[in-house]
Amino acid sequence: MVDLRGSKLGTGVLTVSLVLLIIAARPLSIFAQGEPAVARGRAIFQGKCAPCHTVGGGDLAGPDLRGVTARRDAAWLDRFIREPDVMIQAKDPIALKMLDKYSGLAIPNLGITESDATLLRAYLASSAAPGAAAPAGQAMPGPSVQPAAPAPSAPLPPGDPAAGRALFTGRKLFQNRGAQCFACHTVASIAPPNGGSLGPDLTGSFKKYGGAQGLGAVLAGVPFPTMVPVYHLHALTPQEQADLAAFLGAAGGIPAPMTLFVATLAVWGMGGLYLILYAIWSGRLGRVRASLQAR
C-alpha cells in the first residue's frame, strides 16, 4: 500500500474528499435546517399558546393563528409575542383592535424570550395556509416542512354547576390537589366575602373565553405566569374543567342575594353584642343584692 501522507498527491486527495463530503452533506443540512426550529416552536406553542389559540382549528379565547406570519410583519409579531402588555399600554393600533374584538381579553406577558419568539414564528410560518406567502424578507423555515397543526382539544364532558361551585369555593378538593380558585378570584354570584383579590374577577369569564370549550382549554393549560407554578404539577381533570366552566357559565354575572347575607350578619352581630354585654354585666345585680343583705 502506498503511503500518501505528506505528498502533494495525498494532500490533493484529502482536499477533494472533504469537498465531496461537504457537497453530499449540504442537501441534508438544508432539509434539516428548519425541522428542529419548527419542532421546538411547536412544543413552545403547545405549552404556552394552545390554551387560547389554535393553528387551523378556529378561534378560542384568542384568534386562530394559521397564516398569521403572512398577515403580520415579522418584527411586529416577534415583539407582540414577547411584550403584548407593553404594546397594549403603548396603544398599538393592531393590538387594541384585537383587544376590542376579543372582549377586552388581553394576552398576558408569558415571559417568552427573543429566541423562543423566533422559534414560535418559525412554527407558525410552517403551518401557514397553502399558498400563503411570508412577508418580504421572511424566509419560510426549511423546504416543504408542513407539520400538522396541534390537534384540537377533546370536547369536555357535561359539567355540573353545583360541583363546579364546590370546587371554586374549596368545599370540594381538586383531584390533583391544586389550589382552590376562591383563594385568588371572585365571582359576583357568591355571597360576600366572595373570594380573593390576587387574580381577576371571573364573573364574565365564560363569555369572555368563548364558552365552555374555550374556558376549558384555558383551565387545562393555565398559561398565566402566576398560575403556572401553582398548577404545573396539579393539573385539573377534564371533569373538573367542565364543572368549573358550567358553574361560571350558570352563575357568572348574577349578583348574589344581599338581603339574606345582611340579615344573617345582623343576627350574628346582635347575638355577639348580647353575649359581650352579658359577660360584662351579669354579676352586677348579684353584687348589689349582697351589699344590701350585709347591711
| Same domain (yes/no): 173, 120 | no
pLDDT for 108 equals 75
| Same domain (yes/no): 95, 33 | yes
Please give the average per-residue pLDDT across 205-225, as a whole number. Answer: 76
Question: Is 223 a member of any domain?
Answer: yes
pLDDT digits (tens, 9 = 90+) for 135-152: 333 333 443 344 444 444
| Same domain (yes/no): 33, 117 | yes
| Same domain (yes/no): 172, 117 | no
Single residue among 126, 147, 177 that ends a domain in this structure: 126
Please give the average per-residue pLDDT across 123-139, as a whole number. Answer: 56
Please give the average per-residue pLDDT across 222-226, as a whole number. Answer: 71
HSE-CB for 276 with a 13 A CA cutoff: 6
pTM for this prediction: 0.52
Single residue among 126, 151, 177 that ends a domain in this structure: 126
| Same domain (yes/no): 101, 166 | no
| Same domain (yes/no): 167, 106 | no
pLDDT digits (tens, 9 = 90+) for 58-72: 877 788 888 898 888
What is the count of structural domains for the chain? 2
Please give the average per-residue pLDDT across 160-181, as a whole number. Answer: 90
Which residue range(s) make up the domain with 116?
Answer: 9-126
Please give the average per-residue pLDDT across 154-159, as a whole number. Answer: 80
| Same domain (yes/no): 32, 118 | yes
| Same domain (yes/no): 32, 110 | yes
Q: How many CB atoms lie within 10 A of CB 238?
A: 17
pLDDT for 252 equals 59
Nearest C-alpha neighbor of 124 from the set 227, 32, 34, 258? 34
| Same domain (yes/no): 99, 170 | no
What is the CA angle 253-216-223, rounded to 5? Answer: 100
Question: Is 14 a member of any domain?
Answer: yes
Single residue among 79, 102, 126 that ends a domain in this structure: 126
Question: Is 132 a member of any domain?
Answer: no
pLDDT for 35 equals 62
Question: Is 146 a member of any domain?
Answer: no
DSSP labels for 160-224?
-HHHHHHHHHTSS--TT-PPPGGGT-B-TTSPSS-B-SSSPP-TTHHHHTTHHHHHHHHHHH--S
Under a CB-based contact definition with an 8 Å cutoff, are residues 141 and 162 in contact? Answer: no
pLDDT digits (tens, 9 = 90+) for 228-272: 777 778 888 989 989 998 998 887 555 555 445 566 777 788 888
Under a CB-based contact definition with an 8 Å cutoff, are residues 209 and 103 in contact? Answer: no
Question: Is 261 a member of any domain?
Answer: no
Q: Which three cell numbers stand for residue 107?
A: 394576552
Reported confidence tier of residue 192, pLDDT bands at 50, 70, 90: low
pLDDT for 262 equals 60
pLDDT for 243 equals 92
Question: Is 187 a member of any domain?
Answer: yes
| Model confidence at 103: pLDDT above 70 | no
Question: Is 170 a member of any domain?
Answer: yes
Rounded CA gap, 62 and 80, in Å? 14
pLDDT for 143 equals 38
Q: What is the mean pLDDT of the chain?
A: 73
Question: Is 279 a member of any domain?
Answer: no
| Same domain (yes/no): 114, 199 | no
pLDDT for 181 equals 87
Assign residue 64 the CATH number of its domain. Answer: 1.10.760.10
